[in-house]
Chains A and B, each alone.
Chain A
Amino acid sequence: MRPAEPKGCPLADVRFDHATKIYPGTDAPAVDALDLHIEDGEFVVLVGPSGSGKTTALRMLAGLEEVDDGAIYIGDRDVTYLAPKKRDVAMVFQNYALYPYLTVEANIGFPLRIAGIKKEERARRVREVAELLGLEPYLQRKPGQLSGGQRQRVAMGRAIVREPSVFLMDEPLSNLDAQLRVQMRADIAALQSRLGVTTVYVTHDQAEAMTLGNRVVVMSDGHVQQCGPPRELYEAPVNTFVAGFIGSPAMNLLTLPVEGSAVRLGGERVPVPAGATSNGRSTLVVGFRPEALDLATEGIPAEVEVVEEVGADAYVFCVAEVAGETTKLVARTDWRSAPERGARVKLKPQPDEAHVFDLETGERIGET
């Protein structure tokens, strides 16, 4: 008995077509000509730093913000000027927005009550959803009597029960503690793939984005920086912004002078793509993930500032002198071989793991 039976409207893909939002009283668009196509049943995560326009984009899709330019489509319907209630979307809010005066049962059943669905039918569907989310013991409680995780599930339940064509979630896990967040993350992923409903999920936590999304959209200043599967974002960030944003700890980005067709780093010659030097660039930004820097007997001399042990791994935060400038570097190592704080180490980059970017534009320079 799945709550979401296949419905009449089969295709619920979402399309932003140059969608733009300028809040009254501001000159810079909060969302600037957003082009994005989300396939039916896809789980897409919008991620970006605070103020990058993620929430705004989501609210535009929900119909809670007027679209100032461009259009938005759900399936083959142009919903740009449609009221929220006509869009057939359900939304989970960051603070859950559960009605404090209603029981869990009534909260979950609220959208059905508004839709004028009969009491028995309503009770049946609420029960199904409660079962799915493990909420049966709490149906008669008020939201105030629930833990954060349970409230979160009630909020999910209220979205699911409607069987909408699109789920929208705005940082639904940010009010939970770290452990619960990881668990709910897995639950949401499982639930989404089970229900197969197109989902747009907003977070500023890149770890959440990378684990949840079929595709991740990195936003900054109202623009899409990059859009692709998590692995692609990690392995081939299109610019220094994405390179620095995705991955934790962040990628080491170094500004280095070009020597011939390579840059020199800690005695290591790191070849750069042929295109990198073609238009006379004399300086490049070269990035290494922490796992692409090894503690070795030779390499960049550095002093250890902090060592963070994360289970089997340890991240070694160092200061080093690179190309005449004092730079912070992070390397990953096995926790057993982690150096002491204050120790002097040598960091050896893996040349074929280098990401090369243009100094001026920050764009990735590809291996052509």
Chain B
Amino acid sequence: MTSATAKAQPPTFTRRKPPANVRRRRFLVTVADHSFLIAAALVFLAPFVFIVLTAFMTNDQALSPDLWPHPFRFQNFADVFSEAPLWRYALNSLIYGGLATLFLLASSIPVAYALAKLRWRGREAAFLIVLVAMLLPPQVTVIPVYVMWAKLHLVGSLWPLILPNLLGDAFSIFLLRQFFLTIPDEYLDAARVDGCGEFRILTTVVLRLAKPAIAAVALFSFLFCFNDFFGPLLYTGESPDNWTLSVGLAQFRTVHQVQWNLTMAATLIVIAPVVVLFFLAQRAFVEGVTLTGVKG
């Protein structure tokens, strides 16, 4: 069928550059257009630069007004690991973030699907209840919930933070539902006719179509757990073996109050994975947020 046609050489183009004065004008206009953003970016970057620089200083220098490390002290990073069980904390953070995220997805996705794509009586009311749950400030429930976990003898471990995710999370359900609403019904109907039950549709079709949204929710959840300070402090404050990085970092700061250089080095080590994760998943992340954000 495919007839072999002689491939012509692609014509070579030299794209003409706009004249110099036009280019200069454009550059200046671009800078002017973004001046506010550039200023804001500098403000946000400043503390980060300060952390990085301090992390390489000697302790004496860290307390001086100097901004540029001299000499660069790389030993700080090694010292951090010998001063505190960072690996242990990292593992705990990973367990907390990983399991919580896994549980949260397993529980929230089916709920969001039912709220978005199945027709049943009381669906709108149920969704409203989910929304209301989002309005409830966590401080309101923290004491009774703590008492409950204490009675279950789980205080001191990370389980009080992980297990509740099995019951779904209002914000994730909301986000996923909004995304599921944008999936055309024909995909689901086609799957129904082709032999899928609802659960099968969810696992084979919806999960694939909603990948960006699910990735976004997973990232949100993981980052929340990773950054969570209040939760681990509350439940594992007395048992350092179960500390997460966020709690470990804070303790580190109080123990080594004067050693700002080590504190900053530790901080860098802790935020590094988050930054890497964000850059790796940036596209899915942003896509998921915009996709879920626009509709509804």
Q: Given A97-B189, A101-B209, is A90 in contact with B194 using a C-beta cutoff of 8 Å? A: yes
Interface string of A76-92 (1 = CB under 8 A from B): 00000001110101110
Closest Cβ of chain B to A220, distance in Å, is 25
Q: Quick check: which of A109-117, A237-245, A312-320 contacts chain B, the rest being far away?
A: A109-117
- A85 near B192: Cβ-Cβ < 8 Å: yes
The complex places the Cα of A100 from the Cα of B205 at a distance, in Å, of: 10
The number of chain A residues with a CB under 8 A from chain B is 26
A64 at the interface (CB under 8 A from B): yes
Which chain A residues lie closer than 8 Å to B200 at the CB level? 114
A73 at the interface (CB under 8 A from B): no
The complex places the Cα of A114 from the Cα of B196 at a distance, in Å, of: 7
Which chain B residues lie closer than 8 Å to A114 at the CB level? 191, 194-196, 200, 204
The number of chain B residues with a CB under 8 A from chain A is 19
B184 at the interface (CB under 8 A from A): yes
- A90 near B2: Cβ-Cβ < 8 Å: no
In this complex, what residue of A is CB-closest to B188? A97
In this complex, what residue of B is CB-closest to A96? B186
List which B1-26 residues lie within 8 A (CB) of chain A.
1-2
The complex places the Cα of A168 from the Cα of B186 at a distance, in Å, of: 14
Which chain B residues lie closer than 8 Å to A215 at the CB level? none
Q: Given A99-B208, A101-B209, is A91 in contact with B189 using a C-beta cutoff of 8 Å? A: yes
- B2 near A85: Cβ-Cβ < 8 Å: no
The complex places the Cα of A97 from the Cα of B192 at a distance, in Å, of: 12
Which of B2, B194, B208 gathers the greatest number of chain A CB atoms within 10 Å? B194
B190 at the interface (CB under 8 A from A): yes
Closest Cβ of chain B to A315, distance in Å, is 37
A162 at the interface (CB under 8 A from B): yes
- A93 near B190: Cβ-Cβ < 8 Å: yes
Which chain A residues lie closer than 8 Å to B68 at the CB level? none
Closest Cβ of chain B to A107, distance in Å, is 10
Query: Which of A90, A97, A101, A162 is B186 in contact with, Cβ under 8 Å?
Result: A97
A62 at the interface (CB under 8 A from B): yes
Query: Which of B1, B2, B192 is A84 in contact with, Cβ under 8 Å?
Result: B192
The complex places the Cα of A90 from the Cα of B2 at a distance, in Å, of: 32
Closest Cβ of chain A to B198, distance in Å, is 10
A103 at the interface (CB under 8 A from B): no
- A99 near B205: Cβ-Cβ < 8 Å: yes
B193 at the interface (CB under 8 A from A): yes
Other than A85-B194, A110-B191, give 17 A-B pairs with Cβ distance below 8 A.
A63-B193, A64-B189, A64-B193, A83-B197, A85-B196, A90-B193, A93-B190, A97-B184, A97-B189, A99-B205, A99-B208, A99-B209, A100-B209, A101-B208, A111-B194, A114-B191, A158-B190
What are 15 residue pairs bridging A and B, where the CB atoms are less than 8 Å apart in the complex? A62-B189, A64-B192, A84-B192, A85-B192, A85-B193, A85-B195, A90-B194, A91-B190, A93-B190, A97-B187, A97-B190, A100-B209, A111-B195, A114-B194, A168-B193
